[in-house]
Chain A
Amino acid sequence: MLSVVVTAAHPTIPDVGVFAVAAAIILAGAIGVVVARNPVHSALMLVMTLFGVAVMFVLQQASFLAAVQVIVYAGAIVVLFLFVIMFLGVDREEDIAAERLRGQRPLAIALVFLGTTGLLLLGEVSKWTTGQPHVAGIDTGAPNVNLIGKSLYTTYLFPFEATSALLIIAVVGAVVLARRPPVVATTSDDVTSPDLSEDEDAVSDASVADVANVADGTEVDA
């Protein structure tokens, strides 16, 4: 059965306005993420895009997902990004103009442009949505959280439990990855400490020489 519910011949003015503003925010933020040289700016632009997507969720009566989007994405994931950026001190500018692989960038742009126009044309000439509605529970427009909760704990119970296992695995993996192995730590200390001491010696030598020169100069001047 083919069911295309592309109704809404006359959307109201406020809806169109909210959609236009949110779409502009989303696209501006997304382009900012790609274009910004500083990773911190990219992360803040990402927050902008995520808020725009949350507005889109509200516009489509998915209020629970909008709240989760703001809390999980903007509140947790982007903060994690910013934490790592500042922890590692990589907030320096990147030279975007430098192209390492010859021809990679035009090829990427052409490929993405081709794919985008292809998809948009496909959506234009054929139907956007096909298939049978009401598979996993009817979205009656009643309180959204009830429906999601019921669906999550009945139809999607096994994926939900698998998700908890995935989160545990991710936490353990992050701890293992971030842990500094003791052997590597000692060797890196051995490698770095002579360099540091040499640098310190060089600095002290230079400063001594400077002091000597200054002293000589003053003596000459005097």
Chain B
Amino acid sequence: MSINPAWYLSLSIVLFAIGALGVLVRRNVLIMFMCVELMLNASNLAFVTFARTLHDIGGQVLVFFVLVVAAAEVVVGLGIVVAIFRRRANADADDLHLMKG
């Protein structure tokens, strides 16, 4: 038989935690985006695991939607990064404090 689903879910939790840690710790906007992708992948892994465990194809369809939304998010996010780079020389999240009082 195949692997216990709990292993997949534990791996998914750890992957999500690493991604969240990256978003919180890193300051480079591009790397923060990549860490968001890590978190999305962790959720995809959990979706597929649940789809197999519950014998429900809906989980896999949802992964399909997550993929599309991730692609759209990356396109718009990188457009914003390029627009920021026009105004300043680096992609440091701490330098973007224009709205600060």
Contact of B49 among A60, A104, A167 (CB under 8 A): A60
Q: Which 4 A-B pairs have the closest CB atoms?
A: A136-B58, A177-B79, A170-B72, A108-B24
Contact of B86 among A10, A113, A180 (CB under 8 A): A180
Contact indicator A50/B41 (Cβ below 8 Å): yes
Contact of B3 among A59, A94, A116, A139 (CB under 8 A): A59
- B residues bordering A, Cβ < 8 Å? 1-11, 13-15, 17-22, 24-28, 30-31, 33-35, 37-38, 41, 44-45, 48-58, 60-61, 63-65, 67-76, 78-83, 85-86, 90-91, 94
Contact indicator B14/A8 (Cβ below 8 Å): no
> What are 18 A-B pairs with beta-carbon distances under 8 A?
A6-B4, A11-B3, A23-B11, A34-B18, A34-B26, A42-B31, A59-B3, A73-B67, A80-B74, A81-B74, A94-B27, A101-B94, A105-B25, A108-B21, A135-B56, A139-B55, A139-B60, A177-B83
CB distance from A14 to the nearest CB of B (A): 11
Task: Find chain B residues with CB under 8 A from A151 CB.
Answer: 57-58, 61
Does A61 lie at the interface of the complex (its beta carbon under 8 Å from any beta carbon of B)? yes
| Chain A interface category by residue count | 35 or more
CB distance from A160 to the nearest CB of B (A): 8
Closest to A152 in B: B61
Contact indicator A5/B38 (Cβ below 8 Å): no
Task: Find chain A residues with CB under 8 A from B83 CB.
Answer: 177-178
Closest to B62 in A: A156
Describe A's contact surface by its main secondary structure.
Answer: helix
Task: Find chain B residues with CB under 8 A from A15 CB.
Answer: 2-3
Given A31-B18, A80-B75, A128-B9, A49 contacting B48 (CB threshold 8 A): no
CB distance from B75 to the nearest CB of A (A): 5
CB distance from B29 to the nearest CB of A (A): 9
Given A53-B41, A108-B24, A139-B55, A8 contacting B1 (CB threshold 8 A): yes
Contact indicator A174/B75 (Cβ below 8 Å): yes
Task: Find chain A residues with CB under 8 A from B76 CB.
Answer: 170, 173-174, 177
Contact indicator A136/B56 (Cβ below 8 Å): yes
- In the complex, given contacts A88-B82, A96-B26, what are 7 additional A-B residue pairs having Cβ atoms less than 8 angstroms apart? A5-B54, A23-B7, A39-B31, A87-B82, A123-B9, A156-B65, A167-B71
